Amino acid sequence: MRLFRHHTYLPDDARGAVVAIGNFDGIHRGHQAIIGEAGRIARATGRRLAVLTFEPHPRQVFQPGAPPYRLTPLRIKARYIEELGVDDLFVLHFDEALAAVGAEGFVMDILVGDLAAHSVVVGYNFTFGHRRQGNVELLQALAEREGFGLTSVSPVESAEGITFSSTVIRDLLQRGEPARAAALLGRFWEIEGRVEGGEKRGRTIGFPTANVPLGDYIVPAHGVYAVRAGVDQGAETVWHNGAANLGRRPTVDGRSVTLEVHLFDFDRDIYGEHLRVALVERLRAEKKFDGLDALKAQIARDCDAARAVLARLAADPAAGVGGERVES
């Protein structure tokens, strides 16, 4: 997949594609349906499949002091988009200047002028342009006038009757329900980052941890989780079972929110390496213990509980969560 951080002066073979447009934070099953429909049209017409998205997230521009919000930072979002068979990814820099572009100007200058889009595919509730003045109805009128195709994808629901939505997924994570979030995503939600050096307190009580910064990720409910952790080995990611604490570590007077991951039956030094941490199930809320001995005993119980959860997953990986297939 080719990544373009601009939309002007494109090579000829990057123009004339079928373009799926959206913020696509999370690349959940609703987003996958939009990109999948664009792929179907691209195959039928012999065109390239492209995705047009925006960075940073508009919330970071309009609410710069707001808490972290992202489900998928750009690097991670791009990986999931590439896995969907996309040929070209256009990433428009979202700032006040782009936000000020009118709806018709966005279509004429970018979609028609720069990308020369053959067809455009969006979600049913897509809005665009200055103050979100553009909607699917306006886009349809402009498509008919300018001669490009337009497809609006209807809402897609889970087996529980929940419309796939980044907002709903964020809410589930913040309520400590990663399994239900996974059913909407189509995979377990992950935090990915470079392992940082910590205080090494876990090593002294027999449970060494890898510390992963949260960065711009949304912060899920604090607590202890059963996790699957992917360690890079060359071009491959090797997955390991583990347990993780996400929170402020009240027993040791921690102040900042950290993600500390203990990998089972693992003793390799991975400081400085990238680690993917998939939240499988929240085991309990974070709490303060009366000293390190009580904490150590609880961690041992947490690890036993995590092993049991992950053993059930290994026994029936195709079943996923809530009766839907979930991959990690």
Active-site residues, by number, are: 260
> Which whole-number Å values give the CA distances from 226 to 176, 205, 276, 303, 313, in the listed order?
12, 19, 14, 8, 11
The full DSSP string for 215-259 is TTB----SEEEEEEEEEEETTEEEEEEEEEEEE--GGGT--S-EE
Cα separation of 291 and 1, whole Å?
A: 52
Q: What is the DSSP letter of 317?
A: T
Sign of CA dihedral 90, 93, 97, 103: positive
CA atoms within 13 A on the CB side of 146: 23
CB 91 within 8 A of CB 54: yes
Cis peptide before 208 (omega within 30 of 0): no
Cis peptide before 56 (omega within 30 of 0): yes
How many residues comprise the chain? 328
Q: Degrees (nearest 5) of the Cα angle 237, 313, 218?
A: 65
Cα separation of 201 and 92, whole Å?
A: 43
What tokens were used for 79?
A: 């990986």
What tokens were used for 298?
A: 């609880």
CB 305 within 8 A of CB 312: no
